[in-house]
Amino acid sequence: MSELSAEDEVELQLLLKQLLRSVSDKISAAPSTECAEELLLHLEETDRNFHSYEFVRFLRQYVENSMGSVVDEDFKKLTRAEGQPAVGAGHDTIIHAVTRRTRDSVEYQQMMQSLKITMNVVVESLMNKFEEEQLRKEEMHRKMEPSQSNSRFTDNCSDSDSSFNQSYAFIRQEQLQVLAEKLDSSKPKEVRCEALHALCCAPPSDVLSCESWCVLRKNLCAALTEPDLSESVMQFFAKSFSSSPLNVTREIYTSLAKSVEISFQTHKLSFPSDVAAVDINSPEISRLLKQVRLLNDFQKEVTNFWIRHPEKYMEEIIESTFSLLSFHPERGSTETGKMLEPVHLLALLDIKATWFIKWMHGYYSRTSVLRLLERKYKSLVVGALQQCLLYSDSCEECTGETTDPQSEEQHDPGSLQRSFYSRKELEYSLFIHSLCILGKLLIYSDGRKLFPIRIQKHKDPVSLTDLIVILINITYRHPRSLHNAASHTDFMSPSCLVMEVLWALCERTECAAECLHQTPVIQTLLAPVIALLTGQQAELKSPAATLTLIADVLARIANTDGGLTLFLYENNLIVHNQRTSAAHVVAQFTLKLLEKSLPSLSESDVTPAFCGAFIFVCRQIYITCEGLQVLGTYGLHRALAAAWKKTSLLAERIPTAEDVQNRLVWEETLLDSLLNFAATPKGLLLLQQTGAINQCIRYMFSRFTKKLQVSRCEKFGYGVMVTQVAATAPGVAALQSSGFVQALVLELWSALECGGDDEDVRALRPRPTPIDHIDRICHKSFLSLVNLLSSQSVWELVGRQSLANKSEYTLRETPSSIPDLIDRLIAVNSDVKIHSLFLYEQSHTFGLRLLSVLCCCLDSFLLLESQYNICLMLLQSQRENVSNQDTTEGAIIIDSLSVERNHVLVRVSVVGGPSERRLPARRLQEGEHPYPWPMFLCFPPPPCYVLNPQDSHRNSQDCEISTFLASSGEAGNEESWLEICRKHYCRVMKTKANTLTGQGRFLDPSEPAFITHQHNELMD
């Protein structure tokens, strides 16, 4: 069978149509015609339902009927033949030979010719039917169009989803060429409209890859300016953006951007006056707004894929965008002379400049953006800066007015029902858009290099510092509301937006150093504070709200090293005709707030949130040693303790639930501030003197159990603070009474013996066998115990307390104190204790590691040895681990516990540093002798663990500090001798600490050279 009948043609037509419908989604997703063809060619490889399609089954049956007999005959010939050179011994070789012969046969050629002719007829018939169907749809559409013109395509022409749910069809190159001719501007409007409808129904990949695309693009851009055709063109562009590669969509984007620019240049839309407004539903504004919206949608989506294309495509898009936004129409003859610009509409659509933030996020695009801004489009940065200056000036003009200048600007700007935008609203949206762009530029060093910028009507260029000062002054005039902090208008308020910029700068060291750690900035931030301290009225619209925001910025600045240095040592502020530093000003103001002795502020202004903000600034200062030294004279700890006691006494007099909540928040703020004095040793002493240490530790324990961080500036837990508190007897007592120690022990036991809080996980799979000596889940608990157990805390927690040494331990019995932990994990000297542990080897190893750390402190070791005989206990365990249990002699069995015990025994019995003793390793090594370190069953330890002092002296001869001391008389004049000596000492301690053994040559303080250097230092 090589000929196909008419019935076969009809059946093939139906089956082909069915196949195309089945794979229509895959074809629609193809970016071009070539990709669609490639997909169909490899459909068998990518579609698991390929052999189930009726079209494929029909073709298989047709081939079987046409070539079956030929294949069978060739196969029989080859299998019977002997010694044929073309055929090998394997079955696969026979199959290949049969296939080659079949494809070369006359029957195969006739079959393929017949199939091609039939398929051409089938495909031609399908395309003709489709064209007839499309013509009928267009005719019906034209009949229905008058009745639906008022309700159709209101705003969906630029939606990304408008490009979906479209019928898919093939289109020939000849048809596209005809459509390109019909879209010519000289053709009647009805003809062009029909061509646009046909173009929107065609696959974008076919249109964009056709030979007539250049003519089509030109005619489409011309149609964009005509109101009757603009929406259809936008619909086609939106469809193309969502389904075409970047090398094609960039042409559409640049063409659309150029068309928008020409439209603004042609129409010269006037900027609204003080009494007028812009109607976005007017034909011209609506059309331009939709075009800018489509541009903005593409701007925000293109960052997801432009990195996969050549850089020139990305630069074309960026440059066309900057060219559009830098376009300024010539001034018209209106009253103001100001014209509406593309950036005004973009600011309305994307008020927070999301497109620019996305472009600046990745290094790939950020370099191009900054390079173009610096070389060619710096006017964009100038315009954004000028808009901030104009808004600041308008705030100053409105300062004396009784009405709120911001109320009109924030009249629900996000409402979808808005149709009119006033002059102030357009200027305000452009200000926010400009502020977000400038804030993103300031984050990067190349963006900061664009400053200083020269502005018209300004004598001096505007520097980074000037810009920050301008933004702070805007915050002074538009503070955030304290009562409606979650509202949309508050989120879009100038103060919140400026704070976001300042917070972003504070988080980066270089940005903060260049932008915020400057004397004019600190002076501007503290100007209202100084005014209130001197009894003057601060020129603020809402003092409490404004100063709360300012305190937040001050705290973030003081949290950095550079900012703290500026606060402590730069006397750049004048209070009562005396120069002082920012730290003193903040401390004085905080004391006045706590005492409520500021006459310029009403009692309602001095809220707990307001006071807590400035206490938090002081806290960033006094948590450091140098900061506490500067603020020590103010007695902040006494003032905070007095305020806390006063608040506690008023607890029973609070009438309402809201007042109770406010009191609890204020009390926690005071306790938290007092607790942070414990960050330094001297601060801990001051905290003890207040008598509130027990309450502070209980508060810390409550936050510890909730796994909360110390504060928003310190992204860590309370480990450092626990170490400081545990170094004193009152601190350890407070930790013990608060339940902190017991909770720490229980947490450790749960992680070590019970596997932590992963019961749900262990129900699905068993817990893996630990490989390391201290498993990952126990590592945090180990560090917490080490932070707790200083020499003083060991005495307070263990002193005069014996071990339980019970005759029986239940499996559910858990330790609750440090002696219990020593009894169960370290002093494991009986079979009862061994059998009470689920993971004996791991738990005992953990205890021995903890003992090794405790014994590093001589006081702790002596206490443990005198009370529990730790060394004898370890030696006895080693004796019980010998190979021959009948005698006490023999080789000690090498396992993880014996190796760990040997390490602890050497550590406690041989005193000295790394140049005086040799500690055995804790791990085995490969080779014939996995553990070369000798073990011992009695003291003293083997002599190999003690180093020869002469060897240490010989190894330390190359120490650079020794060389410096030997040539101390040759010190230069640029730096002091002691300073150079300190540098050498610090360098050696970091790199070769074991060379500083005391065996080398050190300069005697009585030597003339040392006296001479000290005398010169004092004279200087």
CB neighbour list of residue 412: distance below 8 Å, 6 or more residues apart: 418, 488, 489
pLDDT at position 151: 36
The residues with which 917 forms a beta bridge, in sequence order, are 946
What is the rounded distance in angstroms from the CA atom of residue 67 to the CA atom of residue 62? Answer: 9
The residues with which 580 forms a beta bridge, in sequence order, are 573
Residue 940 confidence (pLDDT) above 70: yes
- On whether the pTM is more than 0.75, the answer is no
| 3-class DSSP state of 236 | helix
Residue 561 confidence (pLDDT) above 70: yes
Residue 894 confidence (pLDDT) above 50: yes
pLDDT band at 626 (very low <50, low <70, confident <90, very high): very high
Highest mean pLDDT among 20-34, 265-279, 646-660, 914-928: 914-928
What is the rounded distance in angstroms from the CA atom of residue 130 to the CA atom of residue 124? Answer: 10
pLDDT band at 159 (very low <50, low <70, confident <90, very high): very low
- Here the tokens at position 310 are 């050549």
Q: What are the residue ranges of helices labelled H in 492-560?
A: 494-506, 509-511, 519-533, 543-558
How many Cβ atoms are within 10 Å of 534's Cβ, its own excluded?
12
Q: Where are the domains of the chain?
A: 6-128, 172-244, 251-329+337-478, 954-1019
Comparing 468 with 87, the larger pLDDT belongs to 468
pLDDT at position 156: 39
CB distance 631 to 677 below 8 Å: no
pLDDT at position 1: 45
pLDDT tens digits, 297-355: 999 999 988 988 899 999 999 999 999 999 887 655 444 557 889 999 999 999 999 99
pLDDT at position 322: 96
What is the percentage of the chain residues whose pLDDT exceeds 70?
Answer: 82
Mean pLDDT computed over every residue of the chain: 82
pLDDT at position 756: 60
What is the rounded distance in angstroms from the CA atom of residue 959 to the CA atom of residue 985? Answer: 10
pLDDT band at 91 (very low <50, low <70, confident <90, very high): low
pLDDT band at 762 (very low <50, low <70, confident <90, very high): very low
What is the rounded distance in angstroms from the CA atom of residue 29 to the CA atom of residue 161? Answer: 14
pLDDT band at 654 (very low <50, low <70, confident <90, very high): low
Question: Would you put residue 210 in left (φ > 0), alpha (ψ -120 to 50) or beta?
Answer: beta
Residue 111 confidence (pLDDT) above 70: yes
Rg (CA), the chain: 41
Q: How far is CA 275 from CA 390, 391, 619, 721, 903, in A?
A: 19, 19, 51, 62, 87
CB-count burial class (<10 Å; 0-12, 13-18, 19+) for 92 = exposed
pLDDT band at 211 (very low <50, low <70, confident <90, very high): confident
Highest mean pLDDT among 263-267, 943-947, 1009-1013: 943-947
pLDDT at position 1016: 57
Q: What is the mean pLDDT of residues 381-389?
A: 94
pLDDT tens digits, 243-273: 788 888 898 999 999 999 988 888 777 777 7
pLDDT tens digits, 778-822: 888 898 899 899 878 999 999 999 999 999 998 888 999 999 999
Give me the phi and psi of 607, to 5 degrees please.
-90, 160
What is the rounded distance in angstroms from the CA atom of residue 192 to the CA atom of residue 206? Answer: 19
Q: What is the mean pLDDT of residues 1009-1016?
A: 53
* Alpha-carbon 712 to chain mean position: 16
CB distance 291 to 258 below 8 Å: no
Q: Smallest Cα–Cα separation from 472: which of 552, 411, 413, 405?
A: 552
Residue 761 confidence (pLDDT) above 60: no
| 3-class DSSP state of 683 | helix
Residue 416 confidence (pLDDT) above 70: no
Pairing of strands 573-575, 420-422: unpaired
Residue 587 confidence (pLDDT) above 90: yes
pLDDT at position 209: 77
pLDDT band at 666 (very low <50, low <70, confident <90, very high): very high
pLDDT band at 622 (very low <50, low <70, confident <90, very high): very high
Least confident range from 110-119, 431-440, 468-477, 733-742: namely 110-119
Residue 155 confidence (pLDDT) above 50: no
AA identity, residue 605 = D
Q: At what angle do helices 740-753 and 693-705 cross, to 10 degrees?
A: 30
Residue 59 confidence (pLDDT) above 90: no
Hey, what's the torsion of the CAs at 61, 62, 65, 71, to 10 degrees? Answer: -90
CB neighbour list of residue 793: distance below 8 Å, 6 or more residues apart: 726, 727, 731, 732, 735
How many Cβ atoms are within 10 Å of 53's Cβ, its own excluded?
18
Comparing 216 with 657, the larger pLDDT belongs to 216
pLDDT tens digits, 486-526: 444 467 888 889 999 999 999 999 999 999 999 999 999 99
Q: At what angle do helices 6-22 and 54-80 cross, to 10 degrees?
A: 110
What is the rounded distance in angstroms from the CA atom of residue 473 to the CA atom of residue 21? Answer: 64
What is the rounded distance in angstroms from the CA atom of residue 377 to the CA atom of residue 371? Answer: 9
